[in-house]
Amino acid sequence: MSLYKLNDSTECIIRKAVERDAAELVRYSNIIGGESDFLSYGRGEFSHTIEQERQIIRDYSEGKNKLFLVAVIDKKICGVLTFWGNSRKRLEHWGEFGISVQKKYWNKKIGHILIDTMIRWAEEGGVVKKIDLSVREDNHTAISLYEDMGFEVEGRIRKAMKVDGKFYDFIYMGRIID
């Protein structure tokens, strides 16, 4: 667990998710689903139960190449980062992450802190050597953050997402962990 002062002096805790976070994670996920079209699900589309969320947290906690981080302000989850590595020996060094931050906490450096925490975890753990992500082509703020954090564009996935009848490409980005 680490305590950070955000750029507005708010205190934010970054820590690994634990099973008792399950109900709060379901609440959080239902909020953010309606806040941004950049996510893989929209308002009312998050369908995990609290028990399913507990199992997901357990699964993440059992893997040497998996990480489930939460950002907490005033005892409420305001950001999440998940990294999942492959279970096959030949691929265990590689994985992808997803990240979200509740809209009222945008532009406070929470995403930067979560990504930095993941990168340090990968560097210190010795297993993960490659981190990838997919980001919608028009999410310029996120792309800029990822580039600032050392991620490079590696490709494009055409028509990866459809929102309100319109298709969007994903930009595929990666970072090598030395």
What is the mean predicted confidence (pLDDT) over 22-47?
A: 92
Residues listed for the chain: 178
Whole-number pLDDT of residue 38? 94
CB 161 within 8 A of CB 40: yes
Q: Is 169 helix (H, G, I), strand (E, B) or coil?
A: strand
**From the CA atom positions of the chain, what is the Rg in Å?**
16
> Residue 105: pLDDT band by 50, 70, 90 thresholds?
very high
- Strands of 17-86, DSSP E: 66-73, 76-85
Residue 177, CA atoms < 13 Å, CB-side half-sphere = 21
Residue 106, CA atoms < 13 Å, CB-side half-sphere = 10
Q: For residues 177 and 175, give the distance between their C-alpha atoms in angstroms, rounded to a whole number.
A: 6
Residue type, 95: G
Answer yes or no: is pLDDT of 165 > 90: yes
Q: Taking CA 116 as the corner, what is the angle to CA 111 and CA 120, rounded to the nearest 5 degrees? A: 155
What would the pLDDT profile of 62-104 be if each residue is shown by its tens digit? 989 999 999 999 999 999 999 999 999 999 999 999 999 999 9
What would the pLDDT profile of 3-17 be if each residue is shown by its tens digit? 999 988 999 999 999
Q: Which domains, and CATH codes, for the chain? A: 2-129 (3.40.630.30)
Q: Is 96 helix (H, G, I), strand (E, B) or coil?
A: strand
Q: For residues 174 and 52, give the distance between their C-alpha atoms in angstroms, rounded to a whole number.
A: 29
